[in-house]
Amino acid sequence: MRTGDVIDGRYELEDARGSGSGGVVWTAFDRKLKRRVALKRPHATASDTDRARFHREAETAAQVHHPNAISIFDTVDTDGCWLVMEYLPAESLDKTLAAKGTLPPERVARIGVQIAGALAAVHARNIVHRDVKPGNILVTDDDLAKLTDFGISLWREVTRTDDGRISGTPAYTSPEVAGGYPAGRASDVFSLGATLFAAVEGTPPFGNGEPFEVLERVRRGETLPMRQAGPLTSLLAEMLRPQPNRRPTADEVRLRLKDLVDDWEPPAPPVEHPARRPFRHRPPVRVAAVAMVVAAVGTVVFTKQHQAPAAQQHESAGGLVGDERTADPCALIDKVELRRFGPTKVFTTYGNFNRCDAVVDVRAKDQVDLEIQLITRASRAVQGRPLEVVEESQVSGECDRTVVVDDRYAVRVTAKLENPPLDLCAVADVATGTVLDVLRSGPIPRRAVPFPAGSLAHVDACALLDDKALATVGVVGGGSAVNVFGNWACKWFSTVGGRAINLRYDRRPAQERDEGELVDLGGHAGYVQLDAGSGTSCTVRVPHLPANLPPRAHTDVVVLTVNGDLPGIEYCPEARGLAAVAAGKLPS
């Protein structure tokens, strides 16, 4: 590509303004609308699969409209794979800091209030940026700031460290992401706090150095002291809290910063006159950075094949789930539809109470187990819009789909069978279609039969571990529990990465024996078992056998798992201790 080349018969290239890991950025003149735009293309040639994913991601990102986020105008397939974006004559914040040094707190607050507003808008669309940092913020001389570069996986060279799991930029990464957990709204807030910290103090909160050294300090929460933040000190300290649930939201940050900037308002973006002189007579244009706004990818890929009409999407914002403990996951299964693959039976007592299974006999001795689970979006960092389908990475013997219900809930659809004689995703897609049909018709039907007396379905799993027990393994307090659904399963994470705790309920046939080493948990029987797959977790199963209840066909079980970066055997003492605390709180 050279200056003067015309892309797609419309965009005339002017100047190449930069080349990084994401691709090459040009300024260009849009001959049709008589305006200057920014064009970005990847370094490598895009495959058909990459192009399809690129268009889905760009379509999602283009729906974010905010005065402080760079807009996406168009995509171009001819002459390569191009993204057409809003043009802004501005420097990136990292270049500003390199050239001018630290900024006064008042100017940092003016930049921060705009970026926090952009993040709040993005989060409202259930999109997570994943890489907020000075290099992804454009700032004009009069302090107009815009958030850029949500990263298309096709173009992005992900920063990886020794543990091979971290995406984004280590110096601005939150402790939970450094510990290997998915990025979320709170991690974006942390990264914005780290960015503002760097702008006012001259260095990121965890200092500089090799990525693995910085990440280790992130995990330990070893922030540098603030000496120049002034009125920003208190807010930055809250944004940089190790516990995600204790950080303010992006909109709360915006309101706090708005109080600090008083009556100051961001300037309007510069407007070019539509008249255009010939290219050869135009003076050089001062540009430092342009970027794109697209949905963060790597953990999710957005698909459109099951997208609901706008009216139906609006309706889905209502109470489609309702009371978590009475919503019936089996109502989301249609045996008639599944019978195209083979004889089908529905089982209501597999796994947790939020789950219903359909077993499909696809061939002699080959059965596909189709799991339908109601979940909260927070428990899996699900992203997407109401009634949108998220395709998760397919692994051997398993195909996953997640249907977004509304801002709070989702339905996970999983088809499982080792060495399947058919396409598991075909089964999952049929089941997903049924889920969408039910959701579009109104609220999920209620359970026809209530849970029996004495069932763990009546017990709050999130309350089985108290702050004292959690503190012994370096995990935040009980108030930080992430409810998976119905308070029948809860997750807790370490304050600085590392360990994670998952406590859930399970069900098994009464005659089935538990596997693992039998241990005594203060008068309760427990069974300890190492995870043969990852090798980095230890699980304790505690059958719930109240003496005053008659025999039943199925037994409820408390399942507690501790996992992290160490061999699973290292976590077994902690798992046993926590399981003993949980067992002691079960009804007798």
Residue 73, phi then psi, degrees to nearest 5 = -100, -40
According to DSSP H, which parts of 293-415 are helical?
310-316, 335-338, 377-380
φ, ψ (nearest 5 deg) of residue 82: -120, 150
Confidence of residue 50 (pLDDT cuts 50, 70, 90): low
> How many angstroms separate the CA atoms of 133 and 150, rounded?
11
Q: Which positions ≥6 away from 279 have C-beta within 8 Å?
A: 3, 4, 12, 14, 29
| Phi/psi at 20 (5° precision) | -135, -165
Residue 498 has pLDDT above 80, yes or no: no
Q: How far apart are CA 133 and CA 52, in angstroms?
A: 28
pLDDT in tens, 315-345: 333 489 999 999 999 999 999 999 999 999 9
171/152: higher pLDDT? 171
Average pLDDT over residues 391-410: 88
Beta-carbon contacts of 46 under 8 Å, excluding residues fewer than 6 positions away, are 54, 80, 81, 154
CB-based burial of residue 496 (10 Å sphere; 0-12 exposed, 13-18 middle, 19+ buried)?
buried
* Lookup: tokens for 455: 């069932």
Please determine, for residue 221, whether its predicted confidence score (pLDDT) is greater than 80.
no
Residues 157, 151: Cα–Cα separation, whole Å: 9
Q: Which pLDDT band, with edges at 50, 70 and 90, does 369 fall under?
A: very high
Structural contact between residues 496 and 175, judged by C-beta atoms closer than 8 angstroms: yes
Residue 33, class by beta-carbon neighbours within 10 Å (0-12 exposed, 13-18 middle, 19+ buried)?
A: exposed
Q: pLDDT digits over 198-217, tens only? A: 999 998 898 876 666 777 77
For residue 79, give both structure tokens: 């002459």
Region for 135 from its dihedrals, namely left if φ exceeds 0, alpha if ψ lies in -120 to 50, beta otherwise: alpha
Please give the DSSP secondary-structure letter assigned to residue 224. Answer: P
Residue written as token pair 């949108």: 388
Instruction: Kindly state the percentage of the chain with pLDDT values over 90.
Output: 46
**Is residue 235 within a helix (H) or strand (E), and if so which, with residue range?**
helix 233-239
Task: Give the pLDDT of residue 435.
Answer: 97
Residue 392: pLDDT above 80?
A: no
At 43 the pLDDT is: 57
Spatial distance between the Cα atoms of 551 and 402, rounded to a whole number of angstroms: 37
With residues binned 3-state (H G I as helix, E B as strand, rest as coil), the percentages for the chain, rounded to 5, are: 30, 25, 45
Whether pLDDT at 417 is above 90: yes
Contacts of 102 (CB under 8 A, 6+ apart): 199, 200, 201, 202, 228
Which of 274-283, 383-392, 445-454 is least confident? Answer: 274-283
| Domains within the chain, CATH numbers bracketed | 91-145+163-269 (1.10.510.10), 301-441 (no CATH), 456-584 (no CATH)
Query: What is the helix (H) or strand (E) element at residue 75, kind and residue range?
Result: strand 72-76
**Confidence tier at 296 by pLDDT (50, 70, 90):** very low
Q: Which residues are catalytic?
A: 131
